Amino acid sequence: MSAQIIDGKAFAAKVRSQVGEHVAVLKDKHGITPGLAVVLVGEDPASQVYVRSKGKMTVEVGMKSVEHKLDVETSEADLLALIDQLNNDASIHGILVQLPLPGHLDEDLVINSINPAKDVDGFHISNVGLLGTGQKSMVPCTPLGCLMMLREHHGSLSGLDAVVIGRSNIVGKPMAQLLLGDSCTVTIAHSRTKDLPDVVRRADIVVAAVGRPEMVPGDWIKKGATVIDVGINRIERDGKNKLVGDVDFASCADVAGAITPVPGGVGPMTIACLLANTVTACCRANGLPEPEGLTA
Ligand code: NAP
């Protein structure tokens, strides 16, 4: 293995500690405690785990954490009424509705009912539009975490060729916008892309957000490229459950200049960026300068 490992776990700890410092200043100097509300509908086990660790880390950085756990049969009207209440609650600066929602609830309608200034997931159509036009927005947490790691590793990303594999609204598309914002030449690949290996071989930066275990082999990677693996795939190997990414770590690490592992790469950055977004939202809501380095 020749690649440098980009340690997302350590980076996320650093981001959380920066967030904690800003929270302390907000409390001591301004008497403001940033508040994050997380809404979970139903009992999806993976979502329950995410919500628990979000709540725990929110409290650890000194912020107020509110969890609303709603029955799986909650009506759309009741969910929208709760969001309206949170939109109007001055002690709440960030609202996150855990996805996926049960099938009877319209995700787009629910997300677009959140006050965009409190939309710390960055999924509201206004934030998508602001990001796409290069204006100040709330930036989706997972791509923001990837951007932070890339900036830390490369310094400037200007002029680099970036290939994002995957075009989802939560990862691929916002990732591409952020890379474009940092002046990369960006290609977005997806399931219909022709000659995907050749497309990926051109890239100085590869971001894989596909959801297919170990799909990208080392011989698709240009020597020295930076590989950011967003994938979280649970597989069974040698009779054991294992988490793997969308890239084949061993073969890619032989060719890449730097690579994120799974677990311990992009994953921990996502919650750290959620906390960062909540502090940013709190500062904006109170007309205070935003913390540096915690947003795009
Ligand atoms: P998604 O909504 O399912 O999107 C997957 C994308 O991959 C689609 O655009 C799809 O193309 C493309 N794709 C599928 N098969 C392909 C192939 N053979 N070749 C090229 N492209 C292909 O997934 P997502 O929500 O973006 O998540 C992607 C992965 O990231 C998952 O493993 C997920 O668990 C993980 N994830 C991790 C975090 C984190 O915190 N680390 C956060 C979010 C997601 P089409 O559009 O053409 O179908």
Nearest CA to ligand 1 atom 19: 191
Per residue in 110-159, pLDDT tens?
999 999 999 999 999 999 999 999 999 999 999 999 999 999 999 999 99
Measured by CA distance, the residue closest to atom 42 of ligand 1 is 142
Low-confidence ranges of the chain (pLDDT < 70): none
Which pLDDT score, from 0 to 100, does residue 185 have? 98
DSSP structure string for 10-67? HHHHHHHHHHHHHHHHHHHHH----EEEEEEES--HHHHHHHHHHHHHHHHTT-EEEE
The string of DSSP codes covering 27-40 is HHHH----EEEEEE
pTM above 0.85, yes or no: yes
Which residues, including other chains, have CB under 8 Å from residue 20's CB and lie 6 or more apart? 60, 61, 62
Q: Which residues are catalytic?
A: 54, 98, 121
Taking the centre of ligand 1 as the mean of its atom positions, its distance from the CA of residue 266, in whole angstroms, is 14
Encoding tokens for residue 288?
């205070």
Which atom from ligand 1 is nearest to the alpha carbon of 270? Answer: 40
State residue 226's pLDDT score.
98
For residue 172, how far is its CA from the centre of ligand 1 (angstroms)? Answer: 8
Distance 107 CA to ligand 1 centre (A): 18
pLDDT for residue 213: 98
- Condensed to tens digits (0 to 9), the pLDDT of residues 255-269 reads 999 999 999 999 999
**Protein residue with its CA nearest to atom 39 in ligand 1:** 267
> Which protein residues touch ligand 1 with a CB less than 6 Å away?
142, 165-168, 170-172, 189-193, 196, 209-212, 230-233, 266-267, 270
CA distance 280 to 138: 8
Which residue's alpha carbon is nearest to atom 40 within ligand 1? 267
Q: Which atom of ligand 1 is nearest to the CA of 172?
A: 26
DSSP states of 103-125: TTS-HHHHHTTS-GGGBTT--SH
CA–CA gap between residue 163 and residue 29 (Å, rounded): 44
Question: pLDDT at position 1, please?
Answer: 80
What was the pLDDT predicted at 152? 97
